[in-house]
Chains A and B, each alone.
Chain A
């Protein structure tokens, strides 16, 4: 129950003034500008775009600045802004096989057409603090080499040719937009993927990890991981001409999981899929693993009663804005609710005392 409480206006205004001052920090230190954030804190910017479900680097950087670097607060700001935007339309489905890759690796095949390309990665760094970054503005320049500008095919398409991996279903149905329609379980895989793609990285990481540790039989290989720019195609309504309306960075993960087969299907590999805005490979991999574990019904696998198999549990709790909204509201005034509880507990105690005296 919510009861309007008056008062506190001055306290709120003054609290927000202090927030503004503390956000600025020590005025003897140069103020951060939006471009510094969008150029140098790129992975925070990517996370806010991904979970804010809106690809716009400047807005994301602004949200990070405004929220003092609290990324969930920043995601909240992005989501709130997103709801004010008129929807012009929907793009054609993107072709990730035509991605301009910065990075492309496979953990299942060593020699693949298009080769393994590491890109700008933290992998193989020693995870030692680099004190040089404290001191000067020096940095190493990227090396360059001659290349062939050829399309890089998906690794799993090779398994596909041999029939060793389950084929994706192409029903031609349009996917319901979970931001425009209420969620009704059970969901289609398309609806689950939309929800996971904007889901909380930490939550998905935890769930994906749980499947690796045995909470859902789900031993996954990273068939392929790629990060790069994809052209988004959109048909201009006035002209009926399809144009490349935006260039968007994505990370895509295709996981490969063993499947022992059933009466209907011989043993083959199955897939999990992750696709997120930006260079967020931890999240893309987590998404693929969680996608796969929720597909148990499709493959006639055993339901083990674990969290990562339960789509209602996963989808209802993976959205950090819904979660934080409900969680944080309990710190707002609940004086009347609590007063009622207090009265109730006092009454029960009185009755208890009376009963004790009687015996």
Chain B
């Protein structure tokens, strides 16, 4: 269960709009002490597709990823795997991941994670409603000779 919710917050942080995440974090104005386990580094993940959408895997191309890891004290570690090349975004993600395992969980959830989820849902709804407006409604005409 813990893994399910961690999966969700890590996903929200990873795909967050970087400017939005940075502004949410900066607004909290939290001073957190931490040590680097791995300083932010930019790399890539190879995206795999499926042949014919259902068959064997194949490599489509890479996507840029930034990652870092830190600990708050000896026990709690945070990992920041995020899309793109923003090291600060990666650090924020790692800090949020770590704080979500502490008593500050509620603050982070309410002020960051929930807002990221809402932001993403709004984007999703916007696309869906615009796509829907371009739905084709067919109507058939009766040909003369059939009468």
Contact = CB atoms under 8 A, between A and B. Distances in A.
B23 to A, nearest CB: 17
Contact of B136 (A49, A118, A231, A252): A118
Nearest to B126: A144
Interface residues of B, number: 54
- The majority secondary structure among interface residues of chain A is mixed
A144 B133 contact: yes
Interface in A119-141: 119-120
Contacts of A239: 6, 79
B144 interface: no
A111 B2 CA distance: 43
A36 to B, nearest CB: 16
A86 B43 contact: yes
A282 interface: no
Interface in B37-86: 41-65, 67, 69, 77, 79, 81-85
Contacts of B10: 236, 241, 243
B141 interface: no
A252 B15 contact: no
Interface in A246-285: 246-248, 250, 252, 254, 271, 273, 275-277
Contacts of B15: 231, 244-247
Contacts of A167: 54
Contacts, number: 231
A84 to B, nearest CB: 9
Interface string A176-205: 011100000000111101100110000000
Interface residues of A, number: 88
B136 A115 contact: yes
Interface string B12-24: 0011000000000
A246 B65 contact: yes
Nearest to B38: A238
A162 to B, nearest CB: 16
Nearest to A198: B61
B48 to A, nearest CB: 4
Given A59-B64, A147-B129, A174-B57, 20 more contacts: A49-B61, A54-B62, A54-B64, A55-B63, A82-B44, A87-B62, A91-B47, A94-B49, A116-B136, A117-B136, A118-B136, A144-B132, A167-B54, A189-B56, A231-B15, A234-B81, A236-B79, A236-B81, A248-B47, A276-B60
11 contacts: A49-B61, A54-B44, A58-B85, A82-B44, A86-B44, A93-B49, A144-B133, A145-B129, A168-B51, A228-B127, A246-B47
